[in-house]
Amino acid sequence: MKHESIETNSGLLIVLTLIVISIGGLVEIVPLYFIDDTVETVKVDGVDTIRPYTPLELRGRDIYQREGCYTCHSQMIRPFRDEALRYGHYSLAAESQFDHPFQWGSKRTGPDLARVGGKYSNDWHVRHLVAPRSMVPESIMPNYPWLLDTPLRYKDIENRMRALKMVGVPYSETEAEYNANVERFGKEVADMLDINYATENLVKQAQTGNYDLDNTDITEMDALVAYLQVLGTMVDFKQFDEGYFATFR
């Protein structure tokens, strides 16, 4: 059959187009019925290493979104060699399972932040956020000095956690939910995910971590740096065999 005869016969062209689209759709859809899960299993000694954010980290993520950081920084390392060499292991779906919304994206005016946690000190982050060019001369990032001077609002942290609980994030309020988190994440993490002690846990983490280098008050800088410092730190890829996570794709 000549290509010209297909193009000049609208009825035949429509039929063949529908056939091609159907085949393409089946190739995409059918495999989904044979996959048990698309979220990777990340356990060490039977305990999940990827957890929901603590109250302080959660407020830091709120500030991250409020300031529009996601418009210039992605949190998605693609499975390409050049990305792995620069940023580390490619991003896992499991790492974003508690994010609402997730911050993957594709826009990179600045570097990807999926593995930024622990890469720099708290002092570096504070200086960089207050005056980016003092740390990275070529940066075009705006200054955020008010983060150091603005007290963190956290009186509604319990309600924020309850809202996320409604969409599936495993924060606990009852004893049964707490015990389930102990079994899933371990006691130390389960304590931090207890809504009943959210305010206490937030204050304790801020004072212990001293993220803004000033323990006299809890500022928005404390929360944002706490959030940045946890990104990419929940998975120790050295504990898993090479290619283990590829089996979930």
Each residue of 167-223: pLDDT tens digit?
Answer: 999 999 999 999 999 999 999 999 999 999 999 999 999 999 999 999 999 999 999
Give the pLDDT confidence score for residue 57 in this predicted structure: 98
Give the pLDDT confidence score for residue 7 in this predicted structure: 79
> In the predicted model, what is the mean pLDDT of the chain?
93
Ranges in the chain, pLDDT < 70: 1
Nearest to 198 by CA among 230, 151, 152, 159: 159
Give the pLDDT confidence score for residue 97 in this predicted structure: 93
Give the pLDDT confidence score for residue 1 in this predicted structure: 65
Give the pLDDT confidence score for residue 4 in this predicted structure: 79
3-state secondary structure at position 43: strand
Nearest to 249 by CA among 94, 104, 113: 94
Question: Can you give the pTM of this predicted structure?
Answer: 0.86
Give the pLDDT confidence score for residue 130 in this predicted structure: 97
Q: Which sign, positive or negative, has the C-alpha torsion 188, 118, 54, 155?
A: positive
What are the structure tokens assigned to 126, written together?
């504070």
Q: Please state the domain extents for the chain.
A: 3-34, 46-248
Pick the CATH number of 46-248 from 2.40.37.10, 1.10.150.300, 1.10.760.10, 3.30.70.260: 1.10.760.10
